[in-house]
Structure 1
């Protein structure tokens, strides 16, 4: 059977919100390990993916961190500026968005049942006053951690199958089976789960809310395996992409933010 897509379906896909766009782009970072009989070079790259995320602090200030690549959505969007800087004796990633939306991504291939704990830190200079991630038109966040997961696409609903097939038709790549983001929200309480308005395969969890900690470094630890199972109602597949995203394109605002090291760990005490 040949799938055909109406003009309205294609237009709706092109108008997807930030969460859908970032999922499509993150997949490009997560394609490693999906082909059979890899070459020795590919096997070596895979071994690196299986080890750990490359740390921002392992780099000298200036430029972009090693193994992290630009995460661009469309040419029509301005890009967020990212650069490694020194902060209190360590290297961190600075982000500056002026009506912009782009991120950085890191390809991985991690079994989150063995490394379920995600650790990260971030800081923002301000909240985005008009941002509201429950509304498509104002969906922005000063900081996001974005996780892309593999899975069995045969388990997708009919509507999601059509949506994913449309994405593949337009981009040449399949979308991640599921995408989970941790965000800083203006009003929604910590722990709130916000679904993408077009597909349940993309979900946001509020890790921080309100202005109380603006201007401070805040450290987080989340059991990703538990969060995923609670949100999606199934056990997670392999983690295939990790991204950071500071975006203000929907609200037209400016914001400056910083990201510390991101780690996947065996336990909450830091065992890698």
Structure 2
């Protein structure tokens, strides 16, 4: 009996460890299910081999458009967002906290969709900042406190180098938008995200950016 209990426990652990959802699946053209969203001009996204890995290449010249996936993710099951990215051209001399400088060479963001209750819509942007320090959080210049920017990479990051990232989105949402006071209340507020997006944008500055994204994966650990 003990042996079967240990075996069952091992299977459960393995399932929890390996639980993951690859949202882009670049090698299998999974990115084709993402919808283009244009805000101001069109950034160009293509799949290409770059510096040793398959990547989503993003080119932007005075443009702001992204790729959007409407898919609900249960953050209590797979709270970790994993991705890699590389930047070749940064946007110098911008105040990215201002409307004129609200451009980013690379960003991945998640959205809690409030639907008709617009005030409940929240977005967290994980950005590669060309001018801010790493690990800063600020309100979006256009949307205010409902959209938060987090500089996962900052001005000290190296161009032409792949960086691997891992963020606990569930915990980040609690930390950034506020702890509701109990696990039950936090789950009610932050358990699900509804939209994931990728964007390289330069419309406010009129500059050029060149960036690369690896697969985007949500995982249990």
Q: Tell me the TM-score normalised to structure 2 length.
A: 0.79
2:203 counterpart of 1:259: no
CA distance in 1, matches of 2:25, 2:218: 11
CA contact (8 A) 2:89 2:209 kept: yes
2:36 counterpart of 1:70: yes
Cα distance per residue 1:220-252 (max 9 Å; x no partner): 001111111000004314111111100011111
State how 1:1-272 maps to structure 2 within 5 Å. 52-59=22-29, 65-73=31-39, 77-88=40-51, 90-151=53-114, 161=119, 177-197=121-141, 198-234=143-179, 235=186, 236-267=190-221
CA contact (8 A) 1:132 1:186 kept: no
CA distance in 2, matches of 1:212, 1:109: 31
Q: How far apart are 1:108 and its partner, in Å?
A: 1.0
Q: How far apart are 1:133 and its partner, in Å?
A: 1.7
Give SS of 1:105's match: strand
Off by >4 Å, runs of 4+ in structure 1: 151-154
CA distance in 1, matches of 2:64, 2:159: 21
CA contact (8 A) 1:190 1:208 kept: yes
Q: 1:51 to 1:206 in 2, by over 3 A?
A: closer
| Aligned alpha-carbon RMSD (Å) | 2.2
Q: How far apart are 1:82 and its partner, in Å?
A: 0.7
Number of corresponding residues:
192
Give SS of 2:49's match: strand
Q: Unpaired segments of 5 or more residues in structure 1?
A: 1-49, 155-159, 162-175, 268-272
